[in-house]
Amino acid sequence: MQQPSYLNFDAAKYAWKSDIDYKKYPERYSVGKGEQGVLICEPYKSEIGKYWRFKTKSIAEESSQKIYDLFNEYLAAGDFVGADMARKYLQMRYTRARRYTNYRGGRKYDAAQGHVSLERGAGDPEKADAAKVFYARWKAAEANEVYAAMKKDWKHARA
């Protein structure tokens, strides 16, 4: 029986902290893997998160475009942390839309049943279109040469 990883979460070991202003202290930011830190790092969480929608394909198109525009604005300003956070929001919206496609209500686990995995395939197929929209923007962000160079430099400077 698979259980969600958050049941054994250790906040003290987590690289991202909610009490840090990552715009003032970008050196404290860690790239991490995938979507890590996306719902913690301020002020980016507040700047980007308010545009994070995916109920329908048209809403996903508008949302992903706004987040992608922010991604480009952060790049133009030389703000790697902001760009990386925008990229993470695009990625996370893709994965969340896929979860809603695969699981009713987006829930992979049933807490009432002891956090057991739910059956896959009972979700909303309409969310698959929203997921495709975010996937395209996420991959465009990752393929951006300026972003890739900034990410490489960021990791190299902190290795």
Higher-pLDDT residue of 44 and 122 is 44
Q: Nearest to residue 89, comparing CAs of 69, 115, 109, 105? A: 69
Cβ density class 30-49: b for 16+ within 10 Å, e for less: bbeeebbbbebbbebbebbe
| pLDDT over 60 at 59, yes or no | yes
Q: 141: which 2 tokens?
A: 């962000």
| pLDDT over 90 at 105, yes or no | no
Are 63 and 90 in contact by the 8 Å Cβ rule? The answer is no
Q: Can you name the residues that pair with 42 across neighbouring β-strands?
A: 21
| pLDDT over 70 at 118, yes or no | no
Q: What is the pLDDT of residue 37?
A: 81
**Mean pLDDT for all residues in the chain:** 83
pLDDT tens track for 29-43 = 988 877 888 888 999
77: confidence class by pLDDT, cuts 50, 70, 90? very high
| pLDDT over 60 at 143, yes or no | yes
Rounded to an integer, what is the distance from CA 138 to the centroid of its chain?
9
Query: What does the pLDDT average to over 3-14?
Result: 70
E strands, 18-130, are 109-110, 116-117
Cβ density class 57-78: b for 16+ within 10 Å, e for less: beebbebbebbbebbeebbeee
Can you give the pTM of this predicted structure?
Answer: 0.82
